[in-house]
Structure 1
Amino acid sequence: MKIARIELFQVPPRWLFVRVETDDGLVGWGEASLEGHAEAVEGAFESLRDRFIGADAARIEDVWQTAYRLGFYRGGPVLMSALSGLDQALWDIKGKALNTPVWQMLGGMVRDKIECYAWIGGDRPDEVAEAARLRRDQGFRAVKMNATAELNWLATSRDIDGVLARASAVQAQGLDVGLDFHGRVHKPMAKQLAAALEPLRPLFIEEPLLSENIEGLAQLAGLTTLPIALGERLYSRWDFKPFLTQGIVDIIQPDLSHAGGISEVKRIATMAEAYDVALAPHCPLGPIAFASCLALAVSTPNFIIEEMSLGIHYNTGGYDLLTYLRDPSIFALTDGFVAAPTGPGLGVEINEELVREMARTPHRWRNPAWRLPDGSLAEW
């Protein structure tokens, strides 16, 4: 079962699919989407093709170690996203070869359904309330929303009251809510916001500070009882290690398309379990990334909730994770949960004809620029 072909497809809205075919005709799919940098990831695949065409597709760990270590320059979003897509595809192939789900090869079920949450937008309480109601009607029990709007270093009491009003409007719809700071605010504001939000008891506050500000995050962790979530911009177990050893994080959010794929995120999750830290994978992406998250969630004890980009998520132009599936019912949502996929491999069948058609015009998606009222740049 040798790797015979590795193909890449840029498809709307901003995704990069990986198709790996073996010499005996098995096909596995992965997702190496790195929002805004698809071309860089495609470039990283040049060396992966040179190294792994002709390699044994069943030796997933050997492929992972070879790709990671023999590149000499390790880690980072581009190289790890490329490796993630290849890793997912190889797990898909092995599952199909053995006619078993990926989660079965990861140790089997510890749960048979996976709770999911979705993103909502809106700047005013009435807007977020309506968005929350629509998500509730879709079947979600929890959502995530922007906590910070246009806040930066410091804010007035009116600004903070606005954050509380928006979060309360979502909770009034009967939904739990997580609040994403995007690493946009700075420590003085993050401290005030965390304190003000405590009575609302949100699911978590996400990236209250940028992950590179590890000292500030450590200080904030000592000031709030709210669960701190982070990790979408960390790419390996070594990146996560200081956050775990210093007791900074309560919920890790590695992205299976950025953090080394199924293989590495399983290791990260197991490491986090030893620190009593939960797993909630980041996934504002497509069907292959989401299926990979489900395989991990089904087989990982410290998993708690999964991000799901059902319907319009950010600026997706109407595309979502159902667009490229032959059978969208595989991700049906019931009372906030998606059932564990039971098919071989990742358990999803990709509409290859549609993928090839849509990839004829690469998407060239770029992160939008967010500006504060004074014109300064804000984190996306």
Structure 2
Amino acid sequence: MKIVDYDLYAVPPRWLFLRVETDTGLVGWGEPVVEGRARTVRTAVEELMDTYLLGKDPLRIEDHWQTMYRGGFYRGGPVLMSAIAGIDQALWDVKGKHHDAPVHELLGGKARDRIRVYQWIGGDRPDGVADAAREKVEAGFTALKMNATSELRRIDSPKAVSRAADRLGAVREAVGDEVDIGVDFHGRVTKPMAKRLAEALSEYDPFFIEEPVLPEHNDALPEIAAHTSTPIATGERMFSRWDFKEVFEQGVVDVIQPDVSHAGGITEVNKIAAMAEAYDVALAPHCPLGPIALAACLQVDACAPNALIQEQSLDIHYNETSDVLDYLADQSVFEYDEGFVDIPDGPGLGVDIDVEVVESRAGHDDWHNPVWRHPDGSVAEW
């Protein structure tokens, strides 16, 4: 069997889908994208496909991964690793279909039948979170996530801290103490403010605080951890097992969040999950993306004993024109029941992409994240 063709589709709201075709007629789907940099990743995928993968046997996934990663002198980073990730997902989809088995069977079999999911509330600049939280809990979700703050100054006022605490307190009051509430710092927070926020939020027992500082400041995590008993989560902007080495060795991160569309795909995230298990660290894959990325995450979750919870993007604030289910021929594959989703058992990734819908919506690659500024005109972290 050989790879003979591929197509890339930039679709709303901000996703890039890859379709890989073989000479046997089998087709695999992947989702290689950096949100806001779809055109850049498209070029990286085209380069890997055109200069290496066309004509190759799709079943030799590990060898292809090593070649795509190690075959270039410069390696790593969000663009290359996201391109590799989407290709890797498509190859696993082909391999599962070739063997008429879900990917998780090829990875060793399921360690669970379903996994808990959480639902986003509140938007980019968190607002109306208490009402949204009640609505999502009434819909059956038992875990939520919200942004902690909008933009913050390097050292901000006591009021900025109290506003964040009051928002979380309102959610806690609205849903009680049986619902988990993850709080995302989104890399918007500097080390001194992260320490103050972590302390202030502890009263309301967050499920975790996410990305308390940007990954380039991971050396500050031990100091931040000393200010709270809340579990610390990070990893959505870390792209390989080598990026995760430092946080494992620090011993202060409790939940890692690699993205299966950014961190080298199923092949790499499966390895990262195994590393995390050895350090008693939970896995909660990052996935504010589309149905292919979510299906790939669930295949890894199925096999990872330390998988804790899965992010998913249904009704997330980014999805203004299209949503996860729009691109599926069978939308029941992602039915949520009491806050859980079943692991897909169909061949490959276990989802059936509606090609007509994909083709009709393709050509949308102009999403970019907003650029925020402080009152003095300087750029703020989004």
Matching residue of 1:315: 318
Aligned to 1:72: 73
Residue type matched to 1:314 in 2?
H
Q: Which amino acid aligns with 2:24?
A: D
- In the alignment, which residue of structure 2 is the partner of 1:344? 347
The match for 1:98 is 99
- Contact kept? 2:88, 2:265, Cα under 8 Å: yes
Distance in 2 separating the partners of 1:279 and 1:223: 23
Equivalent residue number for residue 42 of structure 2:
42
Which of 350, 354, 359 is equivalent to 1:356? 359
State the superposition RMSD in angstroms.
1.6
1:132 maps to which residue?
133
AA at the equivalent of 1:11: V
Hey, what does 2:213 align to over in structure 1? 209
* Pairs within 5 Å for 1:212-291: 212-291=216-295
* CA–CA separation in structure 2 for the residues paired with 1:252 and 1:193: 20
- Mapping of 1:19-30 within 5 angstroms? 19-30=19-30
Percentage identity across paired residues of the two chains? 57
How far apart are 1:373 and its partner, in Å? 4.0
Other structure's SS at 2:146 match: strand
Mean alpha-carbon deviation: is it higher for 335-344 or for 138-147? 138-147
Q: Note if contact 1:114-1:297 (Cα within 8 Å) is conserved in structure 2.
A: yes
Alpha-carbon spacing, 1:122–1:86, altered in 2? closer, same or farther (3 Å): closer
1:344 Cα deviation after fit: 0.8
Equivalent pair of 2:92/2:103 in contact (CA under 8 Å): yes
Write out the 4+ residue segments of structure 1 that deviate beyond 6 Å after TM superposition: 123-126
Superposition pairs of residues 99-248 of structure 1, within 5 angstroms: 99-121=100-122, 127-174=128-175, 175-248=179-252
CA distance in 2, matches of 1:297, 1:46: 29
In structure 1, the partner of 2:369 is 367
Instruction: State the AA in 1 paired with 2:359.
Output: R
Asked if 1:334 is matched to 2:334, the reply is no
Match of 1:33 in 2: 33
Any idea what SS the aligned residue of 2:251 has? coil
Tell me how far 1:298 sits from its aligned partner: 1.0
Q: Distance in 2 between matches of 1:133 and 1:318?
A: 24
Q: Deviations over 1:112-154 (max 9, x none)?
A: 1110012111599971111112222332111111102232222
Superposition deviation, residue 46 in structure 1: 2.6
Tell me how far apart the structure 2 counterparts of residues 366 and 297 of structure 1 sit (CA, whole Å). Answer: 29
State TM-score, norm by structure 1.
0.96
Report the 3-state secondary structure (helix = DSSP H, G, I; strand = E; otherwise coil) of the residue aligned with 1:117. Answer: strand
Q: Deviations over 1:281-309 (max 9, x none)?
A: 00000000000011111110011000010
Q: 1:124 to 1:216 in 2, by over 3 A?
A: closer
- Provide the residue aligned with 2:299 in structure 1: 295
Paired residue secondary structure (2:216): coil
Distance in 1 of aligned mates of 2:337 and 2:353: 22
User: Take 2:224 and 2:260, find their aligned partners in 1: how far apart are those partners?
Assistant: 27
The CA distance in 2 between the partners of 1:293 and 1:170, in whole Å, is: 28
Structure 1 residues 223 and 13: alpha-carbon distance in aligned structure 2, compared to 1, 3 A threshold = same
User: How far apart are the structure 2 equivalents of 1:112 and 1:15?
Assistant: 28
Write the deviation string for residues 17-76 of structure 1: whole angstroms up to 9, x where unpaired. Answer: 010111100001000121011111111123212201111111010110111111221101
Given residue 245 of structure 1, which amino acid in structure 2 is its aligned partner?
Answer: E
- In structure 1, how many angstroms separate the alpha carbons of the residues matched to 2:349 and 2:231? 31
Mark the CA change 1:125 to 1:295 in structure 2 (over 3 Å): closer, same or farther.
Answer: closer
Equivalence for 2:54: 53
CA distance in 2, matches of 1:133, 1:228: 25
Tell me, yes or no, if the aligned pair for 1:13 and 1:317 is still in contact at 8 Å: yes
Which of the residues 299, 302, 327 maps onto 1:324?
Answer: 327
Aligned length: 378
Amino acid at match of 2:19: R
Change over 3 Å in CA distance of 1:173–1:125 after alignment to 2: farther
SS in 1 for 2:130: helix
Structure 1: stretches of 5+ with no match in the other structure: none
Q: What SS does the aligned partner of 2:161 have? A: helix
What is the rounded CA distance, in whole Å, between the counterparts of 2:46 and 2:338 in structure 1? 44
What is the distance in 2 between the residues matched to 1:271 and 1:171?
33
Question: How many angstroms does 1:222 deviate by?
Answer: 2.9
Range 153-162 or range 46-55, more displaced: 153-162
In 2, are the aligned partners of 1:113 and 1:340 still within 8 Å (CA)?
A: yes
Q: Given the superposition, is the C-alpha separation of residues 26 and 122 from structure 1 closer, same or farther in structure 2, using an over 3 Å criterion? A: closer
Which deviates the most, 123-132 or 184-193? 123-132
> Following the alignment from structure 2 to structure 1, what is the Cα–Cα distance between the partners of residues 104 and 334?
16
**For residues 205 and 220 of structure 2, what CA distance do their matches in structure 1 show?**
22
CA 293–229 in structure 1, closer or farther in 2 if over 3 Å, else same = same
Q: How far apart in 2 are the matches of 1:191 and 1:344?
A: 46
Using a 3 Å threshold, how does the CA distance of structure 1 residues 98 and 189 change in structure 2: closer, same or farther?
same
For residues 212-236 of structure 1, give each alpha carbon's deviation from its aligned partner in whole angstroms, at most 9, with x where no partner exists: 0122223212332111111011000
